[in-house]
Structure 1
Amino acid sequence: MKLVVQVKLLPSPEHAAALEATLRACNRAAGYVATIAHEKGVKDRNGLQKLLYAEVKATFGLSAQPAVRVVKKVVDAYATLAAQARAGLLGKTTSQRYRKAMSGPVVFRPEAAQPFDDRCLSWQADARTVSIWTVDGRMRGIRYTGSADQLKVLDQYRKGEWDLVQRRGTWFLIATCDLPEPEVSEPVDFIGVDRGIVNLATTSYAVNYQGRGLTRHRAWCARKRAELQKKRTRSATRRLARRTHKEQRHATHVNHKISKEIVSVAQRTGRGIAVEELDGIRERVRLRRNQRGTFSSWPFHQLGQHLAYKARQAGVAFLEVDAHHTSQRCPRCGHTEKANRPTRDDFSCRRCGLAGPSDVVAGVNVRDRARSAWAFVTMPVPTTPA
C-alpha cells in the first residue's frame, strides 16, 4: 500500500540559503535539458544522459547523482505530458491548449520540487536530523519534524526517492512509502455513507456531517475571487492563484476530518464502510444554471478516495454500491417512488408510511446493498465434480 509521507525541515538561515540555491540550480539545469530534449527529439533516459550528463555537471555545478536526478526528472515530465495527451486531458489535437503544451519544451519553475535519492540524502533518526547534498556542499544536521505516525512510517519503510519542496519559505521532504497491505477483517455489519452537497456525508447510524461551513467558505472565496478579477493586475493574479489553492486545501482538510472519523468508528465497531458509486454523475445529472458552480466544485470524489485509502490502511472492508434510487427507496418495504421524497430533506414512504430524514434513509439503503454485495462477494465458489 502506497502512503505519502511528509516531514518538515527546520533549516538554519545558512542551510535555507543553500537549499534554495540548490533548487534553483537544479531547475535551471532541468530547463536546459528539457529544451535540448525538445529540439533534438531525444526524450529517453539513456539517450539524454549520454547526450547531456557531462555538460550538466560542468555548466550548472551539479555532482554526479544530482545530474542523473535532473535528467530523470525531465524524462518523467515528458512521459507525463505524453500520457496526458493520450488520455485527452489536454483537449483535442486542434485546441489551443494542446498546441501550446506540445509545441514547446517543458518549463520548470525556479522553486519546483527536486528529487533526491539515498546517495544525496541521509537520515539520522535518533538525532532527528538529515544530511542533504547542496551546491554549497553537504549540509549536515538539518533538523526535521512531523507527526508521530508519519515519523514511525519513515523509520520503518524509508527507501527510494524524496522530493525537496519549498512552500512560501517552508521546506519539506516528501516521499511515497510502500507499506505492507493490512489484512481486511470480516465485517460484522456495514456503515452506509450517503454523500451530498448540503450534507457532505450522512451515515446509516444518523450522524450528519453538514456542508454549511464549507458552502459559506466557498461563497466567501467566490466573492474574493470576483474582487481580485476586477482589478486585473499582476499582484491580483498572484493573490488569486494563492486564494484558489487555499480553498482547495480547506476542502481537503474537511474531507480528511470526516473520513478519519468514519473510519475510526468502523474500525472500533468491527464494521465495514459502503458508499454510493457516483462515477459519471456529472454527465448523468442535468442542472439549472445557478447550480452548476456548486455541483462542479462538490468534493464527493475526494471524500470517497479518503474513505477508501484510510479504510485500507486500517484493515476495514470498503465497498461501492449502486447509487440508483437510494434516497427514493423505502428500506422497510422496498417501495421505490419519486413521491417518497416530497422535499430534499424528508422521506415518507407512500406505501408503509415510514418517515425520516432522506439522507439517513439513503445511508441505510447503501448499508443494506453493501450487506447483500458482501455476501455475494464472499460466497464460496462451488466446485464442479470431476
Structure 2
Amino acid sequence: MKVVTQVKLVPTPAQAAALKHTLRTVNEAACWVSGVAFERGVPREYELRKHTYAELRERGLGAQAAQHVIKKVRDAYTSLHANLRAGNLGKKGSKRRIKVESKPIAFRPQAAQPYDDRCLSWQYDAQTVSIWTTAGRLKGVHFACSPNALKQLIAHRKGESDLVERDGVFYLIATCEVPEAETREPGGFIGVDLGIVNIATTSTGYRAAGRKLNRYRRRQLALRAKLQKKGTKSAKRLLRKQRRTESRRAKDINHRISKTIVTEAERTGRGISLEDLTGIRERVRLRKPQRVALHSWAFAQLADFIVYKARRAGVPVVFVDPAYSSQQCAECGHVDRLSRVSRAVFTCRGCGVVAHADRNASRVLARRGQGAWDAGRKSHVPATSPRS
C-alpha cells in the first residue's frame, strides 16, 4: 500500500535561494513543454522527448530533471483527458470544457517537481538530504519531521519524492510502500453515518460532534467574504494563509475521527461499513446555506483516511448504498419518511421505537455492511458438483 510522508526542509538562506530558483526553472520549462505538447496534439512521452529534451538540457536542467519534467507534463495531460472522459469538467460544448481544451496546461512556479534516487538521497541519521538543483548538488540540507514519520521513511520509503514550496517553506513528499495487514474475518460491522451537525456517528455509540467546527467555519466564511471585498495585496495574502489553516484543521479532525473508528473496529474484531457518497453534491438539492455546509466538508477525505488506516490494521471496509438509511428503522426495517420526526429524533411508525436519528442510521448501515460482506463472500464460493 502506498502512503506519503511529508517532511519540512530547513535550508540555509543560500540553499533556500537555490531551491526556489530550481522550482521556478523546472516549472517554466514544464510550461514550455506543455505548449509544445499542445501544438503537436499531445504526443506520447517518447515522441515528446524527441522534441523537447535537447532544449531542456540547454536551459540548464540535468538529464534526470529533464526526463521528470517531460513525464510530469505528459502525466498532467493524461489526468486531464481522464477528467474530460469522465465529464468532471463539464459536458461537450460547455464554457468550462471549451476553456480547458482551448489552451495548454500551465504550471505554477511553486508546483511540485519529482525527484528519484539519482537526484535525491537521504541521510536519516543526520536528518539531511542531498538534492539536485540548477546551482549544483546541495548537500546537508536539514529536514524536520515527527519520530513516527522518520521511522516510516527509514523502513518503507521507496520510489520518487516531490519537492514543493508553500508560502516560502519547502517540503519533500516521499512515497512509502507500507505492507498491508492480512484482512481478517469480521465478527460483525460498525456502521458509520456521516453528517454536518454530527460529523460521524457509529453504531457502537461514538459520535464526533461538529458544532465547534461549524462555528469555526462560519467565522472563517465571514472573514473570507470581508477579505475578498477588500481586495488588497495584504488581504489576498491573508486569504491564502486562512485557506491553508482551515484545510489543515479539517484534515487533523478527519485524522482523529478515522483513527478512533478504526481502533474501535480493530479492538472489537469488526469491519467498517461506510456510506457510498459518490456524486452526492450533484444528487442532493439543498438551500444555499445548506449547500455551503455540504460543499465545505471533506467527506471523501474522511472516508479515504478510514480506508487506508483500516487496510494497515487488517480491518475490512465495505461501501453500501445509503439510500433511505435515515428513514429506515434499525429494529423492524420499516421505511417511512415521517419516521424522521426531527434532525435528531427518529420514531418508527411501524414498531414505535424511539432512537437518535444518526445512531439509528448507523445501525442500518452496519446491517447493510454485513449483508454486502456475506453476499461478496458467497459469490466467491465455488459451486459444488451435483451428485451423480
> Would the TM-score normalized by the shorter structure come out above 0.5?
yes
Instruction: Report what 1:315 is aligned to.
Output: 314
Task: Check the 8 A contact 2:42/2:77 in 1, yes or no.
Answer: no
Instruction: Report what 2:50 is aligned to.
Output: 50
Offset, 1:374: 2.5
- State the one-letter code of the partner of 1:383: T
Offset, 1:129: 1.7
Is the counterpart of residue 23 in structure 1 residue 35 in structure 2? no
Task: Check the 8 A contact 1:199/1:211 in 2, yes or no.
Answer: yes
Distance 2:92 2:325 in 1: 40
Describe the shift of the 1:49–1:350 C-alpha distance in structure 2 as closer, same or farther (beyond 3 A). closer
Instruction: Report what 2:3 is aligned to.
Output: 3
Instruction: Report what 2:119 is aligned to.
Output: 120
Describe the shift of the 1:34–1:300 C-alpha distance in structure 2 as closer, same or farther (beyond 3 A). closer
Distance 1:131 1:169 in 2: 20
Instruction: Report what 1:227 is aligned to.
Output: 226
Distance 1:348 1:42 in 2: 59
TM-superposition CA deviations, 1:164-209 (whole Å, max 9, x none): 1111222211133333332111122221111111111111122211
Describe the shift of the 1:365–1:20 C-alpha distance in structure 2 as closer, same or farther (beyond 3 A). same
* Larger CA deviation: 235-244 vs 71-80: 235-244
Offset, 1:40: 4.0
Secondary structure of 1:160's partner? Answer: strand
- State the one-letter code of the partner of 2:266: Q
Distance 2:147 2:118 in 1: 26
Instruction: Report what 1:39 is aligned to.
Output: 39
Instruction: Report what 1:89 is aligned to.
Output: 88
Instruction: Report what 1:243 is aligned to.
Output: 242
TM-superposition CA deviations, 1:201-248 (whole Å, max 9, x none): 111122211111221122112111221232244554454344334333
Instruction: Report what 1:108 is aligned to.
Output: 107
Instruction: Report what 2:324 is aligned to.
Output: 325
Is the counterpart of residue 134 in structure 1 residue 133 in structure 2? yes
Instruction: Report what 2:345 is aligned to.
Output: 346
Distance 2:269 2:157 in 1: 31
Distance 2:303 2:42 in 1: 40
TM-superposition CA deviations, 1:248-300 (whole Å, max 9, x none): 33222221211111111211222211122233433443323442222333432
Offset, 1:345: 0.6
Task: Check the 8 A contact 2:330/2:363 in 1, yes or no.
Answer: yes
* Larger CA deviation: 263-272 vs 29-38: 29-38
Distance 1:286 1:96 in 2: 23
Instruction: Report what 1:385 is aligned to.
Output: 386
* Larger CA deviation: 285-294 vs 119-128: 285-294
User: How many residue pairs get matched?
Assistant: 385
Secondary structure of 2:158's partner? Answer: coil
Secondary structure of 1:258's partner? Answer: helix
Distance 2:92 2:371 in 1: 46
Distance 2:85 2:241 in 1: 30
* Larger CA deviation: 156-165 vs 199-208: 156-165
Instruction: Report what 2:199 is aligned to.
Output: 200
Instruction: Report what 1:75 is aligned to.
Output: 74
Describe the shift of the 1:285–1:49 C-alpha distance in structure 2 as closer, same or farther (beyond 3 A). closer
* Percent identity of paired positions between Structure 1 and Structure 2: 51
TM-score (structure 2 length as normaliser) = 0.91
Offset, 1:69: 1.5
Task: Check the 8 A contact 1:118/1:159 in 2, yes or no.
Answer: no
Distance 1:294 1:235 in 2: 27
Offset, 1:76: 1.9
What does 1:144-183 align with in structure 2 at a 5 Å threshold?
144-183=143-182
- State the one-letter code of the partner of 2:149: Q
What RMSD over aligned residues (CA atoms) do the two structures have, in Å? 2.3
Describe the shift of the 1:127–1:238 C-alpha distance in structure 2 as closer, same or farther (beyond 3 A). closer
Instruction: Report what 1:189 is aligned to.
Output: 188
Task: Check the 8 A contact 2:8/2:144 in 1, yes or no.
Answer: yes
Describe the shift of the 1:47–1:203 C-alpha distance in structure 2 as closer, same or farther (beyond 3 A). same
Describe the shift of the 1:288–1:113 C-alpha distance in structure 2 as closer, same or farther (beyond 3 A). closer
Task: Check the 8 A contact 2:156/2:177 in 1, yes or no.
Answer: yes
Instruction: Report what 1:363 is aligned to.
Output: 362
Instruction: Report what 2:13 is aligned to.
Output: 13
- State the one-letter code of the partner of 1:200: I
